[in-house]
Structure 1
């Protein structure tokens, strides 16, 4: 399905409108290479992922602070070294088809994206207490991996401290502030961090908020949009990016 857009405001934007959430939404085990391959098979050119640090500082993909929901491990993921994390099954929880799928490193995903011409939104998802450090390490790794690339990854986070770390280590990489509520002075914080985008819970957007964000020379992105009516509303408002689980429903254009 292809809801129709009304256009958008702001500076030139190098990213496609449609972004596959955690690779392929719920069709494959999230944040695994099998999910990104499936999203690409559905025609998506840009993907969202979650990145955090192992105990020994390796950036890897996982959404939750703990391991139980999406792996066969237990406890806080950031407490384990990468050697142990790399042995976990991150696919068996989803289906037998994906049993044995490993957790990917950010480097592994980056190399796949670069080899195939895909783009990436890296959500910095720190273990609590490691917000700034995670931003620093993920940004430094992204800058190294995408050095010389025509279009860099977009770094986003709910945590301003993580974005501060990213700004300090790799100021050339674009940043976006994630919002689930419109907390006090979110706009001032985003501008102080040099953000190029605001990434909101899709229900927060209205015409006034879109105009405010575009007026501040930032782009309007939404998560997680899984219904056609919601996508149509966002496109009519003139927003710029839609993160979706429904790679099987929305044909990216």
Structure 2
């Protein structure tokens, strides 16, 4: 296995559910709870800006409407991405990957960037996210980990920035995932935590893949994954799990 520079505990979308997801406010709050690695979702605006958003549409986490990737950054940048969560975060803007990179590098924090393309934009989004990540983290000691459920997006990222580490996201063990993980030269397998058992951990290790899990919010689930010897736990429960805990 290649050396693994990332910590076990990873804060989901910045601070889980304690702040508006994928905003700088969330990453700052996650850091206040001791987290030094974060997961975020990155997609592409209509005019090529890489920004953070999980959903294809804007309604759930902003005051906008419609498909996010169909709007230019000038429109996305004016949206309120905080009021939906609580009054204390009203006016929090949509965050670019560039803004998050500056914060991560200034605070010695690491990042897992999930490539989250608008449907039909897998290749363009994978290419843009990888190129932007390579530019923003050029010369950094530890680059971001790029992950995606979409092999097409990871293939585009591989072609655009082959030196950046990649991980395949799985919600089920669909037929042929092993071949994709190998052809994409992935360093990690990131699974729904319920998928992991001793056999899958052994198979991942045989393939040279680190084992990460999402989204782990219960003590029993975290302890099961630690007992299996897996490498990474992505959690919303940043106020309940202490990331500095050596266990």
Flag whether TM exceeds 0.5 (same fold). Answer: yes
Deviation readout 1:100-137 (Å, 9 max, x if unpaired): 00000000000100011000000000000000110000
Partner secondary structure for residue 41 of structure 2: strand
Moved over 4 A (4+): none
Q: 1:170 aligns with which of 133, 138, 161?
A: 161
1:26 deviates by 0.1
Give the count of matched residue pairs. 244
Instruction: Give unpaired runs (5+ residues) of structure 1.
Output: 1-9
Q: 2:181 aligns with which of 190, 195, 211?
A: 190
Q: 1:79 aligns with which of 70, 74, 82?
A: 70
Select the structure with the greater relative contact order (CA < 8 A; seq sep ≥ 6): 1
Q: 1:231 aligns with which of 222, 227, 239?
A: 222
1:156 deviates by 0.1
TM-score using structure 2 length: 0.98
* Alpha-carbon distance in 2 for matches of 1:219, 1:162: 20
2:33 maps to 42
| RMSD (Å) for aligned C-alpha atoms | 0.4
TM-score using structure 1 length: 0.96
Instruction: Give unpaired runs (5+ residues) of structure 2.
Output: none
1:153 maps to 144
* Alpha-carbon distance in 2 for matches of 1:107, 1:162: 20
Deviation readout 1:166-212 (Å, 9 max, x if unpaired): 00000000000000000001011111000000000000000000000
2:15 maps to 24
* Alpha-carbon distance in 2 for matches of 1:72, 1:42: 28
1:96 maps to 87
1:137 maps to 128
Q: 1:114 aligns with which of 72, 88, 105?
A: 105
Q: 2:199 aligns with which of 202, 205, 208?
A: 208
